[in-house]
Amino acid sequence: MKHIYLNLKRFDIPVLLGGVNSIAQMKDWGSFIIKNTQDTLKMYSKEEVEFAMFFPELHLLKALEARSEDSPIEIGCQGVFWEDVEPGGNFGAFTTDRPAAAMKAAGCEVVLIGHCEERNHINGILNRAGCGNTKAASRILNEEIKTAVKRGLKVLYCIGEKSEEQEQWQETLGEQLEIGLKDVDRSEVIIAYEPVWSIGPGKIPADKEYITKIAGFIKKQTHGMEVVYGGGLKKENAAMLSSIPEIDGGLIALTRFGGEIGFYPEEYLEIISLYLG
């Protein structure tokens, strides 16, 4: 099966406020995306491809309401707290945090954990606290994964190496896999590989040979877990990625990187068509 994920990050912020959203008003943004993609996605077999979209929390309910009864889209959140609500325990005293129980109650089916931006956030806090242990972030993410799976959420777990880690990529990725997946029900987890060193303006994208090598390593280390490309599935690399047997799908974010930068539903559908054929 192929897996197509969409991480909408904070693409809801209007252009006038410094964001990239020019497609819909804030209150309609989540529903606009669902309504303008789900009918076309119905042409693909649910047995052959899975579609999931990770929305900012503000838009989850509107996105869920916009889904038709036979919609192929799964709605996901962009993270969960490592602790959760428990009967007879913490009943929800989680100011600013996102308990998995709340996301499940809202209707989410899947969650994004360990994205490079989340790792940067966790490591930033740890560094400010004087903790230089590179394994600490993966331990926190491991708790998040276990909490999500226990609550009945599927997980897309991201791993990746930075420029300064590239020479030791095997150790870096191996550590993120070993610690992040410790005592986890792996049947509920898919791995997303992010070559962090190659993501962003002016950087050279990872090529087919490199991605194939890494995907093969991940599958070997995890005894065959499914791997999607998390470095950005887009028009320019869709055909290349679809030709790699070790890659089981991709993670889309922005669809337009020049001019009126942003996410556009019609371009998202075009990327999928290019990748799936």
Query: Residue 52's closest CA among 187, 153, 151?
Result: 153
Q: Which of 50, 194, 226, 246 is labelled catalytic?
A: 194
What the block records as the tokens of 133 is 């242990």
Angstrom distance (rounded) from CA 155 to CA 31: 23
Query: Residue 190's closest CA among 101, 113, 119?
Result: 113
Angstrom distance (rounded) from CA 181 to CA 198: 25
Angstrom distance (rounded) from CA 264 to CA 33: 8
Query: Residue 227's closest CA among 208, 214, 240, 243?
Result: 214
Q: State yes or no: is 161 an active-site residue.
A: no
Q: Which of 3, 115, 144, 226 is labelled catalytic?
A: 115
Q: What are phi and psi of 253, to 5 degrees?
A: -130, -110
Q: State yes or no: is 121 an active-site residue.
A: no
Question: Which element (helix H / strand E) includes 54?
Answer: strand 49-55
Enumerate the active-site residues: 115, 194
